[in-house]
Structure 1
Amino acid sequence: MTKILVLGAHGKIARLATTMLEKDPANQLTLFLRNAQRLADQASDQVTVVEGDAGQLADLKQAMAGIDIVYANLAGSNIEDEARNVVAAMDATGVKRLIWISTLGIYDEVPGKYGEWNHQQLDGGYLETYAAAAKVIESSDVDYTVIRPAWLTNHDEIDYETTQKGEAFKGTEVSRKSIADLVTKLAADPTWSVHASLGVNKPNTDGDKPAWY
């Protein structure tokens, strides 16, 4: 049995990943979000829904008791503080494995016109805070995988490739369902891509910006 804590469980990717993770009866899920009523109908023998704030260390420590894997799908201007709390709670509870959703561009790894466009869209607070949060994760002693998605679509498809930290980012877009699939695969094999930061894109979507933008 693998006990997985989903932080930010009401997010679109998190809900897709929860559905995929539920397909393995060996997974026991704890869904953590600010307003538990939003996912109250998800509770079952396999799924526990808890209310909590990732900005509060005590909430995270309570939720992590007995957990094997933390999957963090957090967002917001305080994500650096949330990252510090997640690491502190994991250290306090002895949880080692973390799957952390970030964004593309945190290492200035997006090349060409697309990289310039991405900076124009995300600079001024968003990209900087996500980069700072990823630095907190990568400087910690947890067994992390950082996921850096391209611009997200709601396409009903699983079609993606990955790049490593230090490599130029590929493509311009990727489906949320693809990111959820990657999360599910990482949870199924907790030894895969430890201490890695994965850029994720749909193949053959290179361009100056996402085609749909």
Structure 2
Amino acid sequence: MRSALIVDDHPVIRLAVRMLLERNGLEVLAETDNGVDALQLVREHEPDIVILDIGIPRLDGLNVISRIRAMEVDSHVLVLTSQPAEGFCQRCLQAGAKGFVSKEEDLQNLVIAINSISAGFSFFPADVLNAGQPNLVSEAELVERLSNQEIMVLQYLASGLTNKQIGELMLLSNKTISTYKSRIQQKLNLDSLLELIEFARRNDLAPRQDI
């Protein structure tokens, strides 16, 4: 059973979200109204999904997203907020969120977003993202942007091989592999090798065993 943590400073919203999630087969492990407690609960429970309002006290939601991203946990953040998508969607994406749902929309969209994220995709308003970065709607579309060579390098990196080892296998120089790696990170909007490995695993481009 998939698990969730609800972070919102409005008790009525927390109750509505809890009822919706439980009706759709998710286990709500905990809930809180502030960012500091949210981080502690993520460490303690490691929920699959963190339903997060970014307008919360003690530690704002964007900071919470960034800190969860830095943790070694398999928890994905789905933002549920009344803040305008035009001003905050890109910021949430850049901080590390996997989805963005407005409280003004049908709350059932929350379930659709959770299912999308659980399947390895992201969930953001396409029209908002397209205004700034047109090809960041879903991870499936990001994969399509990679060349065959880049996919091969990504697979080797996710298998735990070094740049030198990959270069020997592909008959390319260490410098060329390093260039491929940087290009892949840029195309996928990822900052580290760990994030590349996690991305590859989510999209069936890497072995499932620990590296």
TM-score w.r.t. the length of structure 1 is 0.47
More helix by share: 2
Q: Tell me which of the two structures has the higher relative contact order, counting C-alpha pairs closer than 8 angstroms and 6 or more residues apart.
A: 1
More strand by share: 1
Q: Give the greater-gyration-radius structure (CA).
A: 2
TM-score w.r.t. the length of structure 2 is 0.47
